[in-house]
Structure 1
């Protein structure tokens, strides 16, 4: 069996049996390395070497965590939560409860979408804003699998479609790697090419909202979910908004999330909402909040390096090409499935693009796919698996907030629902895009 397939299967099976995701990634990497012809010493060395490739990502997450904690110190999150809770009618007739559920779902969806493009703090907002809402969600019997699906949609669809914030990074990586692989494209064409695949994500979201999880689910309400009330002065909140705007502008101008997050933190410091002497504690709290996610991302980078070193990704693509012949429809389907396998193992669509673009782009050109169809195929193949992978921050983030009281399982309540509702539509709509563009 191909080393990539075996490694990903081992990692997924271990995760499904509730083995820690980090351990699952390490064991999967060892199995993949040994299957791919590497010795145990080579596998460990390559895995360890791959950890360094995520240093910038780890620092970005640490600073984003610090930025999120700094924003929480201003009282802005409490204002947002209080605004939602005031509009929510916890008691009343069935119509009031339906309205309240709809309001919470819409508010969470809006925050998640903003976190990718408008206010690029990614998943750092989830552990701050979601736990205070859990008790009211319990009273309304909102299924947390629905909220996980809503959050994952907001964490994926905007960056796939829109060239701002994380979307700008994704689009730049896609355009650069396609150009390096022999097909120069105009980055402004990417949103158009990714419109149909993104529509697939929207269909999955609507199915989750109106069919899969429309019924209530019972949870126990625990007193351990406490909201730390911060002083909500208008002055501090104004500076929090300015910090968000400043972080966004700097991140776009300098194309650096690290400097953008640092700018936001400094602006909040200057407001006096957070004292300089609190800087160390703030950053430490931020890193604690993102620690588990950081370790998973580190392990995912090592996992990816082992798979690349075995040459099994190229082998998998070549095997698929041999099966394809000249059939464009079959070619599109197999490329999407390969992308799904790779991204499910790595947990990052951003890291998947460099792996698959070098093979997919020449293959698409040889088979006569248009540039727009090629963009849709490579972009969708990379995005596949981001929703549903145990190692993806798009699933780790929702779990971090929804499991604050220990009643939300990462695999069965986040990964499985998001895999079903987003990866299946992405394959279908990505295939349609490749055929019609």
Structure 2
């Protein structure tokens, strides 16, 4: 059996059985390496060598988690929640109506989309914004699986379509990887090639909002913080705190764009909070530690995913998987497009990152697509869609880990069954269909 298929399926089955995702990755990598013939020592070496690739990302999320908690101490999340409350009214007046539900969903969708392109903080906004909204969502009986779908849409669709922020980085990776594989394309072509796949994401979002998860769902009323009048008065945001919070976000954004590093971006934002005394020196260490702890699980999973990805590459079975698909194609473009997308889905679900998957699959997919007679635009659509497939829905993707970090703040949201499975169904199936249409029509 192909080692890549075996490793990914092992990881997915273990995750669905509620085995810890990090452990599932380690076991899947071990089984895949043994099946490929790497041996125990070779598999452990490949896995260990790959861990370093995820260290910088894990540190970035730890720093962003600390920054998020530090920002929350200024009262900015409460202020944003209060703005939302003014629109939806009191519980007695209007929270049972459809408009408040729509406003909450729209607000979260906009924030998620902005996090990729306008203010590229990625998933750092989720633990900052979502936990304060959980009580309101409980009162409105909003299904958190719907919110997971909304968040994942906002975390994926903007970067795959728009060449701004993380989208610019992603499009450059696509162009560079395809160029090294023998097909010179420009970044201007990528957005046009991705219009149809993006439509597929929109279709998945519409289905989740208006059909699958439209019915109310009950959650226990678990308060994350004390609601005593005394503590409420202490936590009321001041104008000064809000101004400094906005300045720190601007500083974090500027530093991130200048240095192309989320670590230094988060550090710049924290420094602003320190300098302008928006957070007390005596409580700063506690706040930052709490924030890093909050994002630690995501960091460990991403580090393990990097080791898993390196084992997958070292097996050499990605090439054999594609060769098997090529042999089955027999010159049939329609079948070729479908099999390439399915291989991309399998690889990305295991790796967990479309950014990391593109260089792996472009080397093999570009020559195969050209041999089958696909146009440059169709080849872009194939490679990019194949890379994006699985980002939403993979248990080890930050596009699913991030939503779970916010929605499970009170322990009532399961990562696999409430985030990964719903997003896999609603986004990967439409992406597969519309990506195939794009490849056949461009």
Return closer, same or farther for 1:321/1:404 CA change in 2, 3 Å cut-off: same
Alignment of 1:246-257 (within 5 A): 246-257=251-262
Indicate the larger mover: 24-33 or 108-117. 108-117
RMSD of aligned Cα (Å): 1.8
Contact 2:69–2:290, Cα closer than 8 Å, also in 1: yes
Indicate the larger mover: 269-278 or 132-141. 269-278
From 271, 274, 277, the equivalent of 2:276 is 271
The equivalent residue for 1:315 is: 320
From 354, 360, 384, the equivalent of 2:365 is 360
The equivalent residue for 2:21 is: 21
TM-score by length of 2: 0.94
From 370, 381, 384, the equivalent of 2:386 is 381
User: 2:2 and 2:246 mapped to 1: Cα distance?
Assistant: 50
Alignment of 1:304-343 (within 5 A): 304-343=309-348
User: 2:304 and 2:68 mapped to 1: Cα distance?
Assistant: 24
The equivalent residue for 1:4 is: 4
Contact 1:178–1:184, Cα closer than 8 Å, also in 2: yes
The equivalent residue for 1:190 is: 190
Shift of residue 128, structure 1, vs aligned partner: 2.3
Indicate the larger mover: 189-198 or 279-288. 279-288
2:296 is the alignment partner of 1:296: no
Shift of residue 241, structure 1, vs aligned partner: 1.9
The equivalent residue for 1:75 is: 75
Contact 2:95–2:140, Cα closer than 8 Å, also in 1: no
The equivalent residue for 2:124 is: 124
Shift of residue 169, structure 1, vs aligned partner: 1.8
Indicate the larger mover: 260-269 or 275-284. 275-284
User: 1:266 and 1:374 mapped to 2: Cα distance?
Assistant: 45
The equivalent residue for 2:40 is: 40
Indicate the larger mover: 328-337 or 181-190. 181-190
From 236, 245, 267, the equivalent of 2:241 is 236
2:321 is the alignment partner of 1:351: no
Contact 1:403–1:409, Cα closer than 8 Å, also in 2: yes
User: 1:240 and 1:169 mapped to 2: Cα distance?
Assistant: 27
2:417 is the alignment partner of 1:418: no
User: 2:107 and 2:263 mapped to 1: Cα distance?
Assistant: 27
The equivalent residue for 1:66 is: 66
Shift of residue 48, structure 1, vs aligned partner: 1.2
Indicate the larger mover: 142-151 or 68-77. 68-77
Query: Secondary structure of the equivalent of 1:258?
Result: helix
The equivalent residue for 1:208 is: 208
User: 1:240 and 1:40 mapped to 2: Cα distance?
Assistant: 50
User: 1:214 and 1:94 mapped to 2: Cα distance?
Assistant: 18
Shift of residue 295, structure 1, vs aligned partner: 0.6
* Deviation by residue 1:368-422 (Cα, 9 ceiling, x = unmatched): 2122111111111011001111111111111111112222111111111100000
* Deviation by residue 1:130-165 (Cα, 9 ceiling, x = unmatched): 122112211211111111111111111111111222
Query: Secondary structure of the equivalent of 1:183?
Result: coil
Query: Secondary structure of the equivalent of 2:84?
Result: helix
Name structure 1 gaps, 5 residues minimum.
none
Shift of residue 275, structure 1, vs aligned partner: 4.3
Name structure 2 gaps, 5 residues minimum.
none
The equivalent residue for 2:89 is: 89
Shift of residue 24, structure 1, vs aligned partner: 0.6
Contact 2:344–2:361, Cα closer than 8 Å, also in 1: yes
Query: Secondary structure of the equivalent of 1:182?
Result: coil
User: 1:269 and 1:165 mapped to 2: Cα distance?
Assistant: 27
Contact 2:160–2:198, Cα closer than 8 Å, also in 1: yes
2:149 is the alignment partner of 1:144: no
The equivalent residue for 1:166 is: 166
User: 1:225 and 1:368 mapped to 2: Cα distance?
Assistant: 60
User: 2:94 and 2:67 mapped to 1: Cα distance?
Assistant: 39
2:56 is the alignment partner of 1:56: yes
User: 1:269 and 1:168 mapped to 2: Cα distance?
Assistant: 31
Shift of residue 175, structure 1, vs aligned partner: 1.5
Contact 1:148–1:398, Cα closer than 8 Å, also in 2: yes
Indicate the larger mover: 15-24 or 231-240. 231-240
The equivalent residue for 2:265 is: 260
Return closer, same or farther for 1:163/1:226 CA change in 2, 3 Å cut-off: farther
Shift of residue 75, structure 1, vs aligned partner: 1.7
* Deviation by residue 1:190-242 (Cα, 9 ceiling, x = unmatched): 11111111111011000000000111111111134558864522233223223
Return closer, same or farther for 1:102/1:309 CA change in 2, 3 Å cut-off: same
Shift of residue 266, structure 1, vs aligned partner: 2.3
